[in-house]
Structure 1
Amino acid sequence: MPPKNKKLAQEGIGNKLAVVMKSGKYFFGQNQCLKSLRKKSAKLVVISNNCPPLRRSEIEYYSLLSGCSVLKFKGSNVDLGRSCGRYFRASVVTIIDPGDSDILDLSKAN
C-alpha cells in the first residue's frame, strides 16, 4: 500500500512542476542553481533521487545559507526531466517564481 501513496504523491509533485513550467520562472542545472542561491533569488530547489551526494550536499548547504527550501524528488533525474516536460535529464531544478502553482506550500509541508 505505501508504494501507491508514494506514487500518488509523486504525481502531485509532477503536476505542480508542470504548472510551474507553464507559468513560472525556473532554471535547470547545478551551476544556475548555485548562482541563484548566491543571489538569494531562488524560492525552491528540487533535487532528484540519484543526484551525486557531493553535489546534493553542496546545494543543501547553499540553500541553508540563503534560506531556500529543498524538495527531494523521489524519482530519478530522467523522471524529474520528464515531469518538467523536457526530454533530457535534470538532476536539479531551481524555481525562482512559482507562477500559478502552489508548490511552495508543498515544500513547507515536508
Structure 2
Amino acid sequence: MMNPGCISSYCIRIAPEQPLTFAVALSESTMVSGKKTKKTHESINNRLALVMKSGKYTLGYKTVLESLRSSKGKLIIISNNCPPLRKSEIEYYAMLAKVGVHHYNGNNVDLGTACGKYFRVSCLSIIDAGDSDIIKSLPGDQ
C-alpha cells in the first residue's frame, strides 16, 4: 500500500511538527531468496562450463530431439524464453526417454553465454557430463 509521498520502497514524510524521516522497507526473506537463487544460478553456470570443457553435448532444438530419440541424452536444459510448442515437444520426448529436464532461469542469450558461446542457445542436451556432476546435482523436473 502506497502512502502519499512514497516512491516504491523509499518513503519520505515531511510534516511541520516532525523532523524529516527516511524509511526503507525491505523484507529479509526477499534478500535471502535472491541470494540463494543467484548462488544456485552461478553453480549451474560453473557446472555447465565444466561440461563444455570435458563432456559431450549438443546445442539446438534439432540435435536435442535427435539425442532424445536415440536415447543418448542424459539431461536437457531449456532456456526460459524457448517457444512453448518447442518446450512441450522436448519435454514430451524427454518423458518418453526418461531423461531429466532442467528449466534454466535465464533467457537464450544467458544460456549461450553460460555455455561459453557467442550465440543464443535455447536448449541443449548433455550426452556425457565429463568431470562435472551436473546430472546428479540438478533435479530432473524443476
Contact 1:44 1:68 in 2 (8 A): yes
Q: Write out aligned runs for 1:18-97 (5 A).
A: 18-97=49-128
Deviations along 1:4-49, whole A, 9 cap, x unmatched? 2111111000000000000000010000000010001100000001
What CA distance in whole angstroms lies between the structure 2 residues aligned with 1:29 and 1:91? 7
Q: By percentage of residues, which structure has more helix?
A: 1
State how far apart, in whole Å, the 2-side matches of 1:107 and 1:42 are. Answer: 15
TM-score under structure 2 normalisation?
0.75
Let me know the Cα RMSD of the aligned residues.
1.1
Distance, in Å, in 1 between the alignment partners of 2:76 and 2:121 is 12
Cα contact 2:55–2:130 (8 A) shared by 1: yes
**Are the counterparts in 1 of residues 65 and 90 from structure 2 also a CA contact under 8 Å?**
yes
Aligned mates of 2:56, 2:74 — CA distance in 1: 10
Bigger relative contact order, structure 1 or 2, given CA contacts below 8 A and separation 6+?
1
Structure 2: which amino acid aligns with 1:15? N
Unaligned 5+ runs, structure 2: 1-30
- The list of structure 1 runs, each at least 4 consecutive aligned residues, that deviate by more than 4 angstroms after superposition, is none
The TM-score with structure 1 as length reference comes to: 0.96
Distance 1:53 1:32 in 2: 18
SS of the counterpart of 2:139? helix
CA distance, structure 2, for counterparts of residue 108 and residue 72 of structure 1: 10
- Could you tell me which residue of structure 1 aligns to residue 36 of structure 2? 5
Structure 1 residue ranges without an equivalent (≥5):
none
Q: Specify which structure has the higher proportion of strand.
A: 2
Q: Is the 8 A contact 1:43 1:96 kept in 2?
A: yes
Shift in Å, 1:108: 3.1
- Describe the SS at the equivalent of 1:108: coil
1:8 and 1:17 mapped to 2: Cα distance?
14
Larger Rg: 2
